[in-house]
């Protein structure tokens, strides 16, 4: 599926499965490695990104859920 994302003020288009966690879209597809995998259990907060100003764990957020990242 093709998705449009607004990331740090720039529009990006990605082609990924809708169930792909946002973390992997950011890191593997877009090469934005500042977001980390961390503990893998969503406990440490290393995968946290802000979506519409709210902190969100990107490890468990599927790409189809957020409107912006």
Residue-wise DSSP of the chain: -EEEEEETTEEEEEE--TTSBHHHIIIIIT--TTS--TTSSS-S-TTEEEETTEEEETTS-BTTS-S--
CATH 1.10.8.50 fits 2-57, yes or no: no
Ordered by start, the domain boundaries in the chain are 2-57
Q: Tell me the per-residue pLDDT of 6-33, one tens digit each, with 9 for 90 and over.
A: 888 899 999 998 888 889 999 999 999 9
Predicted local confidence at residue 30, as pLDDT? 94
Instruction: Determine if the pTM surpasses 0.85.
Output: no
Cα dihedral across residues 10, 11, 14, 18: positive or negative: positive
């Amino acid at each position: 599926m093709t998705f449009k994302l607004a990331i740090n003020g720039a529009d990006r288009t990605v082609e990924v499965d809708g169930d792909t966690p946002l973390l992997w879209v950011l890191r593997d597809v877009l090469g934005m490695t500042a977001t980390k995998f961390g503990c893998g259990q969503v406990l440490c907060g290393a995968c946290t990104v802000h979506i519409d100003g709210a902190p969100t764990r990107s490890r468990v957020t599927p790409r189809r859920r957020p409107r912006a990242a």
